[in-house]
């Protein structure tokens, strides 16, 4: 299934639509693939992490957070996936620099929802999202 979603993400990102529209469609594809409650795609700057696009039942509580705070800050700082039970944050790394250029934030209604298969799936999705940050 992850290969299908990765191909779908490639097709979504390889369009002339505006970046925020492509990000929203990509978030929708990731969310629909596994029935997650909410998916957000964020830019990572020097000082802030800012929402680019999302899919889910409600808008996020915050669209900008300081880069050093929270689970997203942990993912940026460690450059590793952070699994907090019902939320997983996957860093999106720049191909040339290896620096964190974005994050994929995924939430579930279920406690301890994310297993190793989910993590592998989400990490593959994060890698497929790299063209969104070019």
- Residue 117 CA to residue 130 CA, distance in Å, equals 21
Quote the percentage of the chain above a pLDDT of 90: 84
Would you state the pLDDT for residue 125?
A: 97
Separation CA 51–CA 122 (nearest Å): 18
> pLDDT confidence of 15, banded at 50, 70, 90?
very high
d(CA 132, CA 17): 11
CA distance 64 to 17: 23
Higher pLDDT, 113 or 97: 113
pLDDT tens-digit readout, 76-87 = 999 999 999 899
Measured distance CA(85)–CA(113) in Å, rounded: 6
Compute the chain's Rg from CA coordinates. Answer: 13
pLDDT at 22 (0 to 100): 97
What is the pLDDT, as a whole number, of residue 1?
A: 60
């Amino acid at each position: 299934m992850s290969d299908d979603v990765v191909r779908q993400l490639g097709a979504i990102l390889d369009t002339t639509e505006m970046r925020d529209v492509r990000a929203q469609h990509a978030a929708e594809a990731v969310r629909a693939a596994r029935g997650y409650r909410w998916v957000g795609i964020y830019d990572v700057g020097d000082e802030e992490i800012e929402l680019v696009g999302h899919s889910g039942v409600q808008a996020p509580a915050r669209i900008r957070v300081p880069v050093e705070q929270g689970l997203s800050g942990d993912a940026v700082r460690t450059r590793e996936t952070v699994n907090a039970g019902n939320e997983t944050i996957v860093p999106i790394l720049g191909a040339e620099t290896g620096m964190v250029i974005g994050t994929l934030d995924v939430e579930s209604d279920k406690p301890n929802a994310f297993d190793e298969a989910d993590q592998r799936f989400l990490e593959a999705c994060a890698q497929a999202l790299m063209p969104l940050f070019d």
